[in-house]
Structure 1
Amino acid sequence: MIRLAIIDDHAIVRAGFREMLSDELGLHIAFEAGNAEEAQTMLREHSCDVLLLDISLPDLSGIDLLRSIKQRNNTQVLIISSFSEERYALPMIRNGASGYLCKDCNRDDLINAIHTVAKGHRYISPKTAELLANEMTGNIDKPAHELLSERELQVFLRLAKGESVSVIAETLHLSVKTVSTYRTRVLEKLTVSSNAELATYAHQHGLLGN
């Protein structure tokens, strides 16, 4: 029996996945959560084999929660996002996700992905496989934000949402000086000069969620 968890801040989305999976033998939904804090609490109280995780959460970014989960247990994380694979599939897989699916996927693809990652394998869709192949051969023009390091991306997204350097430092358990250094690097790599321009860039590239 595969113990499944669904993490999404929209109740209607969770209900949709629950209904889609209700008749599937060998699957049991262990718990649901609408934000990262609730998810972390539930993970401490319930065993889970596969976690369906949305990127956009109200209290913590999906990438932050993904890193936290992978540091603490062996739960396989399958990203379920409204963002296209071109935007986030490769960064999320690099950060420990076992697979990436868009929310408009069909039931068969979702079931296949769940069973694949539950076995400890990665689920790579044809589109993600193409992205990986293009990356390996250098046959791809990456947007500037895809060249950011993991930590630079975290700081960038938080700055774009309007968080201050001090708040980011406290949340990520870093010094203010370190976060300021990351901010400087991000500004240089994205060729912008202010937090306002960072926010504009993020919105233009659809990086801040719905």
Structure 2
Amino acid sequence: MTVRVLVVDDQELMRSGFSLIIDSQEDMEVVGEAENGVRALELVRELSPDVVLLDIRMPELDGIEVLKRLADRPDTRAIMLTTFDDDDFVYRSLEAGAAGFLLKDARRDDLSHAVRVVAAGEALLAPSVTRRLVTDAVTRRARRGNTRALPELTSREREMLVLIARGLSNTEIAEAEHVSAHTVKTHVSKLLFKLGLRDRTQAVIAAYESGLVVPGGPAGT
């Protein structure tokens, strides 16, 4: 299946560069480009892309506002792109429903990999972003003086949450557990529903806030 991508950035050179990278992949195609948030919304509704590469800082409507207005389109997933490694942008993007977050200086292979991961229904963050999210989760837990309570989980569900928190993809979990990727995807979906979480990123934060996983230490059981 070909992943249909919409590229949104207010800089023409950036749009052209991203489009060249995407179109060079056999399993992807750029279906449109937009220079601002208003045009992005128009093209999303007209073209129904699978993935939107979405610049955060744009005229008329910024990327985060575009995300909020796309909340009713769960089949279109967004990867936020920015030159700023800024915590505020990261958190606001994730709260608005971003499925991925990459810096614009990411390697071309990282970009194409991100599109594939997000199109497959998983969440993806730059490693530096993930580290900060984990650090923030642990800091908040320390301030509260207690851990985030998780609902009662089966041993299988706890194991799945630990593997997600370690950053393993569905494919990697499937290989580790000797089951199919489809089985893992089903388990992850059920786990997220039980925890009341939107995506894997929130699951990672929940695992660390609960104390199930400790940075630099052995994972919980």
Partner of 1:30: 31
Contact 1:55 1:81 in 2 (8 A): yes
Contact 2:21 2:112 in 1 (8 A): no
Secondary structure (helix, strand or coil) at the match of 1:138 reads: helix
Contact 1:85 1:101 in 2 (8 A): no
* Residue 13 of structure 1 pairs with residue 22 of structure 2: no
Contact 1:5 1:52 in 2 (8 A): yes
Equivalence map 1:145-156=2 (5 Å): none
* Residue 44 of structure 1 pairs with residue 70 of structure 2: no
Aligned-partner Cα distance in 2 for 1:21–1:120: 18
Query: What is the deviation of 1:90?
Result: 2.6
Query: What is the deviation of 1:139?
Result: 6.7
Contact 1:85 1:127 in 2 (8 A): no
Equivalence map 1:132-171=2 (5 Å): 132-138=133-139
Identity in percent = 31
Q: Which runs of 5+ in 2 are unaligned?
A: 142-221
Aligned-partner Cα distance in 1 for 2:73–2:23: 29
Aligned-partner Cα distance in 1 for 2:126–2:104: 13
Equivalence map 1:165-184=2 (5 Å): none
One-letter amino acid of the counterpart of residue 13, structure 2: I
Query: What is the deviation of 1:87?
Result: 4.3
Query: What is the deviation of 1:69?
Result: 1.2
Aligned-partner Cα distance in 2 for 1:38–1:88: 21
Partner of 1:110: 111
Secondary structure (helix, strand or coil) at the match of 2:101 reads: strand
One-letter amino acid of the counterpart of residue 104, structure 2: K
Aligned-partner Cα distance in 1 for 2:73–2:48: 12
Calculate the TM-score normalised by the size of structure 1: 0.63
- Show structure 1 runs of 4+ deviating over 6 A: none
- Alignment size in residue pairs: 140
What is the CA deviation profile of residues 64-86 of structure 1, one whole-angstrom value per residue up to 9, with x for unaligned ones?
A: 11100123442100001111153
Query: What is the deviation of 1:111?
Result: 1.0
What is the CA deviation profile of residues 110-160 of structure 1, one whole-angstrom value per residue up to 9, with x for unaligned ones?
A: 1111101001100022211111111111179xxxxxxxxxxxxxxxxxxxx
Aligned-partner Cα distance in 1 for 2:34–2:23: 17
Secondary structure (helix, strand or coil) at the match of 1:121 reads: coil
Partner of 1:143: none
Query: What is the deviation of 1:22?
Result: 2.5
Instruction: Name the Cα RMSD after superposition.
Output: 1.7
Aligned-partner Cα distance in 2 for 1:124–1:100: 5
Aligned-partner Cα distance in 1 for 2:67–2:82: 13
Aligned-partner Cα distance in 2 for 1:73–1:31: 19
Aligned-partner Cα distance in 1 for 2:45–2:96: 21
Calculate the TM-score normalised by the size of structure 2: 0.60
Partner of 1:96: 97
Secondary structure (helix, strand or coil) at the match of 2:102 reads: strand
Aligned-partner Cα distance in 2 for 1:95–1:46: 21
Partner of 2:63: 62
Partner of 1:124: 125
